Structure 1
Amino acid sequence: MRRRLAFFGSPAWAVPVLRALSEAHDVALVVTQPDKPQGRGLKVASSAVAQAARELGLEVAKPRRLRRDQETAERLRVLDLDAAVVAAYGQIIPGALLEIPRYGFLNIHPSLLPKYRGAAPVNWALINGERETGVSIMRLDEGMDTGPIFVQEATPVGPDETAVELSERLRDRGVELLLDVLERLETARPRPQEGEPSYAPLLKKEDGRIRWHEPAQSIYDRHRGVQPWPGSWFEHSGQRVKLLEMKPARGEGAPGEVLDVGRVSVRVAAGEGAVELVTVQPEGKRPMAAAAWARGRRLGSGRRIAS
């Protein structure tokens, strides 16, 4: 059955959700974040969802503050919506809007709720070393990801999966589950969330700092979790160095101590085990092999990599 929907989303991650919905259902309105400066030139540009909506010939609204935007609320009221779908929109949906669609607002949340409520569930699942996560299709309420769940599916976390890769995999499976729920809206009965909640706030720049005192696996898990932003980094002699590619390794020594410099990589001791730095990018320079950077800084065995 084709449903009449509104879609709320903004980044590129949400575009495949919009495309799938537009193929299977009638998307009457797309609500996204306002245009803003982007890139090095800070040229004002539309969100990825707004651009995709234009390509699909869909109506778009870009309220600056949804809570205070009466025009968007009125547009939604006259559309006779079966449901609205939210995928990484970027603003809280006010309670007055949640009641407008016949079956409410549905959300794709890439975690096993109530674990990792908030803006960065995939990132924090990886940073915290989770070996299993999942995706939930929920009905929004006025809380922060506290609404009841229609369906939830668990999946193992790949040992080398980054936040980008895992979030896209969870999204793609979430789209399949969402389409199924939309088919059976009349009979679907969401259940309240059960268990102890945990939270996943937006990442800060400091979350990407390498903690050399942590075990090598924890350092690697954090590295995977802070992709693509803020990325992993450390400071050496007052200079910030981005760590673009790394992996756990064997070895022991004082945390942050260089164990050896190879042809391409550098092995550095962690709180437990070691990590192999493969590619780095010093401040203001191009990416380079970690070994080339270390030799340029005269870093050899026994030297501390972190200031």
Structure 2
Amino acid sequence: MTSQPLRRRIAFFGSPAWAVPVLEALHRQHQVVLVVTQPDKPAGRGLKLTPCPVAAWAEERGLRVEKPARLRKNLEFLSLFRELAPEVAVTAAYGKILPAELLEVPKYGFLNLHPSDLPKYRGPAPVQWTLINGETETAVCIMQTDVGMDTGPVVARWRTPVGPDETALELSERLRDKGIELLLAALADLEHLQPTPQPPEGTHAPMLHKDDGKIVWERTAQEIYNRHRGVQPWPGSWFEYRGKRVKVVRMSSTVNLANTPPLAPGTVVRMAEALVVATGGGGLSLLEVQPEGKKPMLAADWARGARLQPGDRLF
């Protein structure tokens, strides 16, 4: 007779839509006694205060939700956390550093689902920088949280090749889904986990900013394409032409320009099915763009409408 897995008393810390399937899996198999998210933020034209996706999902199902603006020196929240007495806490894209006094409350500490091959890409944007930097392999880790930024010991790891055309959205969801499997297995075996300490040195994956999506034509075509994959869906790839921003919705990787005379980066090579632009190394095919204030369109159609000619530069 197969024994039923233990139902743990769990507190969950997470905020964006990416974290909702993690909470959903925990809710199915365990007792989620508390959900902690970022505070409500203004959204929409009316700037109405709106809960983050994790809070909205949890509130719809009657789970207890707390949205503290800060955790450090928050005695009221610390008291509540101790009162609820979770056996273990789980974090997935929560977005705040957890203070030591909070980490000490659950008997089995905090487990974090982190989509990178730690100690590579500690920080808030690991998948994005994995792609931007052209990594061909990555991992998802289940880590015991400590007071550092993603520096705690690892209790489970799954490595995988990175698809050559995989975007940040696609890769992050694939890593998350495998991470859920690892997390559930770790929760079933909390008493016997064997954490492996991380080396102190690692790489940082800072939060993306709008300018991280700007196309720098002096980079190679492959570097621009890798960055394009990494900045999906936000901030997206873009360049400016005649003072207006043009978003690149779709592009393809390197075009061989071996039989083309040397051209300055950003120069239009040809306009047929795609708009081919010279870069600091090879050519890049722009397939679909969205000019400022307009709907997406084929890049070649936009180029013809803008009266571009081969030899013109996209500046």
Query: Shorter-normalised TM-score: what interval?
Result: over 0.9
Q: Deviation at 1:97?
A: 0.1
Q: Deviation at 1:135?
A: 0.5
Q: Which residue of 2 aligns with 1:246?
A: 251
Q: Structure 1 counterpart of 2:308, which letter?
A: L
Question: Which segments of 5 or more consecutive residues in structure 2 lack a partner in the other structure?
Answer: 1-5
**Aligned residues of 2:151 and 2:200 also touching (Cα < 8 A):** no
Deviation >3 Å, runs of 4+: none
Which residue of the other structure, out of 38, 47, 50, is the alignment partner of 1:45? 50
TM-score when normalising by structure 2: 0.94
Which residue of the other structure, out of 234, 243, 252, is the alignment partner of 2:239? 234
Q: Which residue of 2 aligns with 1:280?
A: 289
Which residue of the other structure, out of 247, 256, 259, is the alignment partner of 2:269? 259
Instruction: Name the stretch that deviates more: 245-254 or 104-113.
Output: 245-254
Matched ranges for 1:30-179 at <5 A: 30-179=35-184
In 2, Cα distance between the equivalents of 1:40 and 1:190?
47
Instruction: Name the stretch that deviates more: 252-261 or 176-185.
Output: 252-261
Which residue of the other structure, out of 295, 306, 312, is the alignment partner of 1:297? 306
Say which SS state the counterpart of residue 106 (structure 1) adopts. strand
Q: Deviation at 1:40?
A: 4.1
- The C-alpha deviation readout for 1:259-285, integer Å capped at 9, x for no partner, is 11114x201111111111111111122
- The C-alpha deviation readout for 1:180-214, integer Å capped at 9, x for no partner, is 01111111121101374111000111110111111
Q: Which residue of 1 aligns with 2:3?
A: none
In 1, Cα distance between the equivalents of 2:296 and 2:111?
42
Say which SS state the counterpart of residue 66 (structure 1) adopts. coil
Which residue of the other structure, out of 10, 16, 19, is the alignment partner of 1:14? 19
CA RMSD of aligned residues (A): 1.2
In 1, Cα distance between the equivalents of 2:201 and 2:221?
28
Distance 1:290 1:302, change over 3 A: same
- The C-alpha deviation readout for 1:150-174, integer Å capped at 9, x for no partner, is 0111100011110000000000000
Question: Which segments of 5 or more consecutive residues in structure 1 lack a partner in the other structure?
Answer: none
In 2, Cα distance between the equivalents of 1:230 and 1:68?
34
Q: Which residue of 2 aligns with 1:219?
A: 224
In 1, Cα distance between the equivalents of 2:101 and 2:233?
35
In 2, Cα distance between the equivalents of 1:8 and 1:19?
13
Q: Structure 2 counterpart of 1:250, which letter?
A: N
Q: Structure 2 counterpart of 1:6, which letter?
A: A
Instruction: Name the stretch that deviates more: 19-28 or 232-241.
Output: 232-241
